[in-house]
Each structure stands twice: as structure tokens, then as C-alpha cells.
Amino acid sequence: MNLKPKIIVRNLFMSFKQEKEIKVLENINFEISLNEFVSIIGPSGCGKTTLLRIIAGFLKPTKGEVICDGTTVKGPSPSRVVVFQKDAVFPWMSVRQNVEFGLLAKGVSQEERTRISNYFIELVGLKGFEDNLPKTLSGGMRKRVDLARAYAAGPEILLMDEPFGSLDAQTKSKMQEELLKIWEREKRTILFITHDISEALYLSDRVIVLTSRPGKTKKIIKVSLPRPRKNELKFTPEFAELEREVWDLIQEKI
Ligand SMILES: Nc1ncnc2c1ncn2[C@@H]1O[C@H](COP(=O)(O)OP(=O)(O)O)[C@@H](O)[C@H]1O
Ligand SMILES: [Mg+2]
């Protein structure tokens, strides 16, 4: 295990100034190790997306800093790719063109683009759909295209903001299982934002629980459930116990 943290969030504060100042994040501190899977959970409006945008380098914090690989984040970087709830799939491009888009923009050769897109299209389970247009795909399949696109861009860190938030319950469960399979094969450092307790626990090595706005780090829970994980894990007493703990934390009962 590499003990040098991949991401350090240190003494982070964020306020937005409108007519009056809104404090969104207050003294957030945590570290994420190389190839760790960490989720952030907290009530709606507590500043999760804001925190992710700061880590991505899209927003500058009011105070504090984010350090990736020992360097303070000052702006976006190709080593950090963001996956949003709304997929970033271009409707007029085929699956392959979508997956290769970032590589084309970087000037990667045709041969190399094909090699990379073949690999990630296969990894996300879309082999055979390379020439399909997005409108011919289901919501879950479009999410797979989005994941392949994010991976193909070659990031070391994947920042995911409720990526499965708009999927129906069954597709969402399936995609959670898929994401873990992909991550087992292609380890990356993943920071996953959700307001779904079961999703956070099922996917993660650790879950960071934020308080309601202004978001503060309420507790960091280590999820010691064995891997590889299957959906059945969600029906075990150990899982239910963890869910209860996070639920009570979010309801501010403890
Ligand atoms: N650019 C902005 N300007 C002003 N207020 C903002 C801006 N972005 C977010 N906020 C406010 O910050 C709070 C946290 O938003 P957000 O980070 O999206 O929360 P979450 O993702 O946890 O639901 C909300 O009250 C939101 O209205
Ligand atoms: Mg959000």
C-alpha cells in the first residue's frame, strides 16, 4: 500500500458572496490514498458539489487548499476527470467517437485511439455497440459510455458527482456493481459523491459524512466489508448496521 496520500484536502472553507455571504463548507480536512475508493455523503445542499468542483480545480476555495500528488491544485488538470449526473455523451457521435473524443483533442494517433477505445469499450461491457448512436442506447448504457470516456482520457483521479442519480433503482444497482468490477480491473483513485447511503457504503473503502450546510466533516467511516462485493452484500446484517450508523449521523442523531 502506498502511504503517501493522493489527495489532501486541508483546512478548506468556501463561502459564496451574493446579497449576503453564504458559508457552504467549513474546515474540511481529509486525505485519500492512491487507488482508494472514497465517497462523500451529506444532505442535499451541504456543499458536496462545491467540494468536488474545488478538488477538480474549477473553483478556488475561500480558504485552505487541495493538494494532489504533493502539488496545490490551482486549476483543472487532465489527471482529474469529472463524471456528472448528466452524462457528457455527444448525441451526434457514435460510442467509439465519444470515447475517443478526448484523445482526438490531445492529438493521439488513430492507431493508439483505436487501441485505447477498444480496451475501455470492452471494459465497460459495450463491445459490439461501437458504432451505435447514443439515442439507440439505454440510460445505463449511456452511463457506460460516459465511464469509458472518462477512463480513456487517462486520469489518475476520477471525481464522480452522483453519476447514477438519474437512473432507476435496478439500473443503478447494476451500474454500482459494474463500476466496482471496472475499478477492480483498472484501479484509480475515486472520489464519489452521493446522497444515497447504501450506494456510498457498497462502493467505498471509506465514507466521509458531511453535516448540513455549512458542510463540516462529521465522521469518516471505514467500510471493512470484504471485496470483491456483489449486490447481495446489501442484504446482510453487517451492511444494515453500517447503514443505520450513517443514517443516524445524517439525521444528526449522533
Ligand atoms: N456559484 C454559486 N453561487 C452562489 N451559491 C452557490 C453557488 N454554488 C453553490 N451555491 C450554494 O451552495 C450550497 C451548496 O451547494 P452544492 O455544493 O451544490 O450542494 P450539494 O451538492 O451538497 O447539494 C447551496 O446552498 C447552493 O445554493
Ligand atoms: Mg450536488
Asked if residue 30 is part of any domain, the answer here is yes
| Residue 94, domain member (yes or no) | no
Please give the mean pLDDT across all residues of the chain.
95
Ligand 1 proximity of 45 Cβ (cutoff 6 Å): yes
Closest CA to 196 of 39, 30, 56: 39
Give pLDDT, residue 228: 96
Q: Which residue has the higher pLDDT, 116 or 87?
A: 116
When pLDDT is averaged across residues 27-49 and rounded to a whole number, the result is 96
- When pLDDT is cut at 50, 70 and 90, the band that residue 4 belongs to is confident
Tell how far the Cα of 15 is from the centroid of ligand 1, in angstroms.
9
Within a domain: residue 132? no
* Mean pLDDT to the nearest integer, 50-61: 98
Q: Total domain count for the chain?
A: 1
Residue-wise pLDDT tens digits, 145-157: 999 999 999 999 9
Strands of 206-210's sheet in order across: 80-83, 157-161, 189-194, 37-41, 206-210, 217-222
| Distance set, CA 51 to CA 24, 25, 152, 191, 246 (Å) | 9, 8, 24, 11, 20
The pLDDT value given to residue 254: 65
Mutate to test the pocket of ligand 1, among 49, 60, 62, 82 (most ligand atoms within 8 A of CB): 49
Residue 221: inside a domain, yes or no?
Answer: yes
The C-alpha cell at 36 is 482508494
Position 42 pLDDT exceeds 80: yes
Nearest CA to ligand 1 atom 8: 50
What pLDDT, on a 0 to 100 scale, did the predictor assign at position 3? Answer: 65
For residue 17, the enclosing domain spans: 1-79+189-254
111 in a structural domain: no
In a domain, 154, yes or no: no
pLDDT band at 84 (very low <50, low <70, confident <90, very high): very high
CATH code for the domain of 228: 3.40.50.300
- Does the model's pTM come out above 0.85? yes
pLDDT at 252: 78
DSSP state, 191?
A: E
Whether 237 is covered by a domain: the verdict is yes
Q: For 173-208, how does the pLDDT look when each residue is reduced to its tens digit (9 = 90+)? A: 999 999 999 999 999 999 999 999 999 999 999 999
Q: Is residue 198 part of a domain?
A: yes
Q: Name the residue with the closest Cα to ligand 1, atom 7.
A: 16
Q: What is the rounded average pLDDT of the residues 66-94?
A: 95
User: In this structure, are residues 54 and 221 in contact, taking their beta carbons and an 8 Å threshold?
Assistant: no
